């Protein structure tokens, strides 16, 4: 399955107004649970937050890829958010984050989770793609841009 096909309905937040790392992660987890009809919201947030506390997933260039492996999900789930004003995410380059992709996978998987992280990083390594995603006005535009980038870079 292509990564762009993993975005469920209403799984992309366009121009979030969250202003802190904790707020945006809560918003992403809420969106994840609503989009994929998942229970255990607090446990999912706790796993994502705990992972974030060990080492920031802000990888630089305005991008963060928070992720966790969780026993409460039965398939890989992805949600995204754009944040025009940016959020301090303790990124490696100390720059604000404007684009986030949250990936949650079943606790018993290794390969697919790592492959998804690698693929997202590869697709979003292009500055023009990141800018186009941040500038997307609708979820449909976001997923279309992501899909075209996936065709080009994967």
Radius of gyration of the chain (CA): 14
Burial of 14 (0-12, 13-18, 19+ CB in 10 A): middle
Contacts for 11 with CB less than 8 Å, ≥ 6 apart:
31, 32, 35, 36, 78, 79, 80, 139
Contact 57, 66 (CB under 8 A): yes
Our CA angle for 113, 116, 117, nearest 5°, is 90
**Is residue 148 among the annotated active site residues?**
no
Tokens 């506390």 belong to 53
From 67, 98, 113, 148, the catalytic residue: 67
Positions marked active-site: 67
């Amino acid at each position: 399955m292509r990564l762009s096909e993993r975005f469920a309905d209403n799984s992309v937040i366009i121009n979030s107004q969250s202003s802190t790392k904790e707020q945006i992660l809560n918003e992403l987890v809420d969106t994840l649970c609503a989009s994929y009809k998942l229970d255990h919201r607090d446990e999912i947030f706790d796993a994502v937050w705990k992972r974030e506390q060990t080492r920031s997933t802000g990888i630089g260039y305005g991008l963060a890829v928070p992720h966790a492996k969780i026993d409460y999900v039965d398939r890989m789930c992805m949600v995204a958010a754009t944040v025009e004003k940016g959020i301090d995410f303790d990124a490696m380059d100390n720059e604000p984050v404007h684009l986030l992709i949250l990936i949650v996978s079943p606790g018993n998987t290794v390969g697919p989770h790592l492959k998804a992280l690698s693929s997202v990083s590869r697709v979003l390594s292009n500055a023009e793609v990141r800018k186009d995603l941040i500038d997307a006005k609708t979820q449909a535009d976001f997923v279309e841009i992501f899909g075209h980038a996936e065709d080009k870079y994967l």
